[in-house]
């Protein structure tokens, strides 16, 4: 009985904490602007979960070998081998480098989407979908403004 009571108290405690400090709050707390040269638009996308207009990114046509890094903290996120043309107007990747991102579910626009953000600085990058054409089945739809490409 005692054990049950303890478990129940723990559960109530956890529920209370998570309603006072929702997960989003935790993420917001870890977000940090590290690059002082970010433009206003980059800040809106990365720290207020904005989205750039489709077909505006120069990186859409980037086909060189190399790596894509976080524009805020420099974290290495994608290899050029994972990039593909999804036709959506945003740079798209079939997989991220291990540990590059963390994810959370968002419910904007009335549907459930998996948002992902840089594991190092917390900056928002895009959404990941399960309709990718490659073996991974994933499609990382990334705002080009959040990325810096470094050719090999
Ligand atoms: Zn970052």
Write out pLDDT tens, residues 33-69.
999 999 999 999 999 999 999 999 999 999 999 999 9
Closest among 26, 136, 150 to 77, alpha carbons compared: 150
CA distance 102 to 94: 16
Ligand 1 center to residue 133 CA distance, Å? 26
Which token pair is 64? Answer: 């060189």
Residue 108 or 63, more confident: 63
> What is residue 17's predicted lDDT score, i.e. its pLDDT?
47
Active site residues: 141
Pairing of strands 92-93, 83-84: antiparallel
pTM of the model: 0.80
Ligand 1 center to residue 74 CA distance, Å? 6
Ligand 1 center to residue 79 CA distance, Å? 15
Ligand 1 center to residue 66 CA distance, Å? 18
Contact 68, 55 (CB under 8 A): no
Confidence of residue 2 (pLDDT cuts 50, 70, 90): low
Contact 28, 46 (CB under 8 A): no
Contacts of 146 (CB under 8 A, 6+ apart): 42, 45, 46, 70, 71, 72, 123, 124, 125, 126
């Amino acid at each position: 009985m005692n054990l049950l009571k303890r478990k129940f108290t723990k559960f109530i405690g956890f529920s209370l904490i998570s309603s006072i400090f929702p997960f989003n709050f935790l993420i917001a707390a870890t977000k940090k602007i590290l690059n002082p040269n970010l433009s206003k638009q980059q800040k809106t996308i990365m720290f207020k979960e904005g989205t750039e207009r489709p077909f505006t990114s120069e990186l859409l046509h980037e086909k060189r070998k190399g790596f894509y890094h976080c524009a805020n903290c420099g974290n290495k996120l994608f290899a050029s081998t994972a990039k593909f043309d999804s036709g959506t107007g945003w740079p798209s990747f079939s997989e991220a480098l291990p540990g590059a991102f963390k994810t959370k579910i968002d419910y904007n626009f009335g549907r459930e989407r998996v948002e992902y953000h840089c594991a190092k600085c917390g900056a928002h990058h895009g959404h990941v979908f399960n309709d990718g054409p490659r073996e991974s089945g994933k499609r990382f739809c990334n705002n080009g403004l959040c990325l810096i490409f470094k050719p090999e």
